[in-house]
């Protein structure tokens, strides 16, 4: 058991079982032993690899989509170019490089990063020294907001509930024989999930992302008031159904309870919940990442880059394009949705 695991076992002995959300929050962001608080987990040498780390094309196309949205909205100035959970800063750096030639765009923008990990802030500062950092999305400036959230919502803590008649039993983390274990609370009605009684049956598990409503509402309120657009890219589907909690360590799946604080914990994103909190702005049609990137011209960009490559570099480049776009890889598992003003259209690559 890890040091954090020992602390959690002692805490449960004192105060009782933890919700899955409380467990995730401690595992990911405990100040001394939390996964994101203590390491850089990205890349081949880390525990997982995100799209910006696979190829520069991803960040380039995201940046150009937002730059075009900025032009379509009349080139407002000044604007906030923001990213939630920006990893090492790779995506934002690629987006900025790709948009250097867009007249007036860089002069209008300031870069803002929402990041709570001290370790990752240090990595981001190497690529983006002029950025401003925030702990919460609520403190982003009151200005037109052009925002990126790539694999951000999947890391937000979730609660899990199992239907029991017209009530719900919450899945919790307790202790059995000195080890962390899952259990269920007593059944009770839950107003939070009243609408899910129509599309579930006894024994079905649904997930609720605790922080999603407030974060989405904050983004939507700024965009509705000042303009801009948000591109949200993550794995998941239109509505939560089933247990999607997973742990990754050294590029492999592990038991979520075995090494708390030493493995990444994520869950699929419920995009219907994002749409439900997009008012007073609008949301686009949910689109597979592969289709989105193809609409933005990733194949043409890939061919242009391939012309300068050979050998292993070319093989790796071709594999990166496939990984991002093919339905059997990230192309369908990952989805894209945007939030934009009622007076505007969604950014390029997406439909109303």
Mean pLDDT by 10 residues, the chain (352 residues): 95 97 95 82 62 94 98 98 96 98 98 93 96 98 98 96 97 97 96 93 96 98 98 94 92 92 95 97 98 97 94 95 95 97 97 96
pLDDT for the residue 44: 47
What is the reported pLDDT for 119?
Answer: 86
Predicted local distance difference test score (pLDDT) of residue 47? 55
Token pair 């699929």: residue: 268
Q: Report pLDDT for 231.
A: 98
Is residue 291 within 8 A of residue 299, CB to CB? The reply is no
Residue 251's pLDDT is what?
75
Q: pLDDT value at position 175?
A: 97
| Integer angstrom CA distances of residue 320 from 96, 183, 252 | 21, 40, 19
Taking a C-beta distance cutoff of 8 angstroms, is the pair 142, 165 a contact?
Answer: no
Query: Does the domain at residues 35-156+210-340 carry the CATH identifier 2.60.40.10?
Result: no
How much is the pLDDT for 42?
Answer: 63
Which residues in the chain are classed under CATH 3.40.50.12710? 35-156+210-340
């Amino acid at each position: 058991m890890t040091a954090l695991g020992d602390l959690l076992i002692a805490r449960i002995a004192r105060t009782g079982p933890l919700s899955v959300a409380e467990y995730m929050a401690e595992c990911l962001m405990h100040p001394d032993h939390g996964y994101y608080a203590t390491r850089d987990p990205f890349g081949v040498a880390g525990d997982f690899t995100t799209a910006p780390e696979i190829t520069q094309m991803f960040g380039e196309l995201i940046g150009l989509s937002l730059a075009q949205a900025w032009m379509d909205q009349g080139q407002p100035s000044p604007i906030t170019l923001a990213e939630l959970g920006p990893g090492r800063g790779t995506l934002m750096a690629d987006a900025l490089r790709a948009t250097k030639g867009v007249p007036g765009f860089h002069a209008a923008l300031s870069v803002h990063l929402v990041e709570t990990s001290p370790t990752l802030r240090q990595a981001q500062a190497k690529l983006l020294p002029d950025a401003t950092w925030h702990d919460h999305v609520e403190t982003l400036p009151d200005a037109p907001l052009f925002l990126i959230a790539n694999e951000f919502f999947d890391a937000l803590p979730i609660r899990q509930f199992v239907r029991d008649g017209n009530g719900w039993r919450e899945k919790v983390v307790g202790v059995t024989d000195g080890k962390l274990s899952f259990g269920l609370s007593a059944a009770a009605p839950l107003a939070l999930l009243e609408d899910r009684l129509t599309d579930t049956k006894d024994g079905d598990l649904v997930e609720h992302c605790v922080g999603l409503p407030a974060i989405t509402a904050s983004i939507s309120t700024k965009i509705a008031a000042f303009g801009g657009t948000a591109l949200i890219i993550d794995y998941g589907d239109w509505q939560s159904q089933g247990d999607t909690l997973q742990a990754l360590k050294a590029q492999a799946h592990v038991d979520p309870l075995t090494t708390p604080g030493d493995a990444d914990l994520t869950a699929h994103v419920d995009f219907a919940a994002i749409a439900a909190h997009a008012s007073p702005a609008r949301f686009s049609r949910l689109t597979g990442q592969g289709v989105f990137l193809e609409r933005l011209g990733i194949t043409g960009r890939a061919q242009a880059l391939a012309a300068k490559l050979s050998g292993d570099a070319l093989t790796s480049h071709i594999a990166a394009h496939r990984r991002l776009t093919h339905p059997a890889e990230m192309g369908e598992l990952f989805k894209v949705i945007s939030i934009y003003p009622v007076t505007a259209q969604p950014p390029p690559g997406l439909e109303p």
